[in-house]
Structure 1
């Protein structure tokens, strides 16, 4: 009985005897973060994790076309180096009107439409908007500065075929404030935006391009009089809730602000143009001081933490509830749960 049971059990695999191309093929079925983690788990994985065959799978299928459209094509010695370069340094493509980059964790494609590429109502009227250069701050040669309008409306379009399939994208207004800002206070009516496929109905969302969101929160921290303590705490909670829900701008790592305009699920095989619109027109109040870099379209990715199977230096597969999720590899090596 014991002999028959041991025969039916799948033997533990010594990963050091596996050929490098086999390990490389396995790594290419995971993700960039998991490949980097596994390269530290066992020495056998280290060289395979550096191979071009692995990182070629993580790059989008049209990456060569994107490089050909770049103003300054990247210089790279390996596909891994190219992947990391596209994650950290966006390529300026299509005569400086767009930028292309990769989401570092997933390899999904990201694009930013420059302000010059967008349709800005009254954007070509010098009394209302002016075009300036911020060489050390913006990735594009020109940005648009709002001088004086009562009707703020911005449109952008991008082909869904340029985006990664089966991916939920979000569009963000990327901007900052000039030294003097008028007409973007919380007391005014909120702006509206939508992101939708051309010719279809999309749900609009409301938000505040509020210059004093942070100061308002800080001023609500310590009440001056006991009688107003509850009201101040309530106001602070309301502001925090709006910020967390995406109804206030958030700071980016590059020094700009971003405001989410909406999201869109790019289904595989769906062909069309994705339309993005921002409007702040209901109040009719005059506005100035907005500096617009563009609209960025990037994936919204959520990776849940769960129990996964990992490879240990003991050369066997173990189930490990690790806070850094790796990969399910038991099926690849023929080992059952």
Structure 2
């Protein structure tokens, strides 16, 4: 694993921090404990952290960071807070499942392969998942990676990691990639808890 001398663009990333205690005057050595534990950005919709040994950037994009169709309608979705201080979202009853967001590739560590992993959970009473759900990533050059996952085969009541794709910062150095999760059939669906998506280095 390639070791960085310091986290890539960490100062500019931390300008979006929700904590007033983090500012440009703090030496990097004093910031490391906070960076390893994770720092919330953009009104607690993103959590930025740094790997201990490699110093590579990691990001957790929480559900509120995504544009989720009809997520403001209480009859379709319900926002809940579990053990993590960020909010999860539960689908109560929908036919059209669609969650998307865009993320800037240039703040990922250079010369690194990242995987994009969605975090979901099915409640014990989840139903309507007869058709596969699409998970994927569209890279800045338009290349699309997509997986179809049958959630009926997944265990209920526990968090599930679903890999949607990868991005190499040796090849993609700037621009926005889009993360997406959707299922557009006419079946009524319920019982899906969506926490968000991890963008984490694999090398």
Q: Same fold (TM over 0.5)?
A: yes
Deviation for aligned residue 1:100? 0.2
Question: Residues of 1 paired with 2:175 and 2:164: CA distance?
Answer: 19
Please say if 1:182 is aligned against 2:124.
Answer: no
In the TM superposition, structure 1's runs of 4+ consecutive aligned residues that sit over 6 Å from their partners are none
Q: Is the 8 A contact 2:97 2:183 kept in 1?
A: yes
Higher RCO, 1 vs 2 (CA within 8 Å, ≥6 residues apart): 2
What does residue 48 of structure 2 align with? 100
Alignment RMSD (CA, Å): 2.7
SS at match of 1:122: coil
Counterpart pick for 1:172 among 100, 117, 122: 117
The number of residue pairs the alignment matches comes to 198
Q: Is the 8 A contact 2:13 2:107 kept in 1?
A: no
Deviation for aligned residue 1:176? 2.4
Report the TM-score when normalising by structure 1. Answer: 0.52
What does residue 300 of structure 1 align with? 202
Counterpart pick for 2:190 among 281, 284, 288: 288
Q: Deviations over 1:299-327 (max 9, x none)?
A: 122xxxxxxxxxxxxxxxxxxxxxxxxxx
Report the TM-score when normalising by structure 2. Answer: 0.82
- Greater percentage in helix: 1
Higher Rg: 1
Question: Residues of 1 paired with 2:155 and 2:73: CA distance?
Answer: 32
What does residue 177 of structure 2 align with? 274
Counterpart pick for 2:59 among 105, 111, 120: 111
Q: Is the 8 A contact 1:165 1:267 kept in 2?
A: yes
Change over 3 Å in CA distance of 1:66–1:78 after alignment to 2? same
Q: Is the 8 A contact 1:178 1:291 kept in 2?
A: yes
Q: Is the 8 A contact 1:115 1:293 kept in 2?
A: yes
Question: Residues of 2 paired with 1:285 and 1:264: CA distance?
Answer: 32
Change over 3 Å in CA distance of 1:199–1:119 after alignment to 2? farther
- Greater percentage in strand: 2
Unmatched runs of 5 consecutive residues or more in structure 2: none
Unmatched runs of 5 consecutive residues or more in structure 1: 1-29, 32-56, 216-250, 302-337
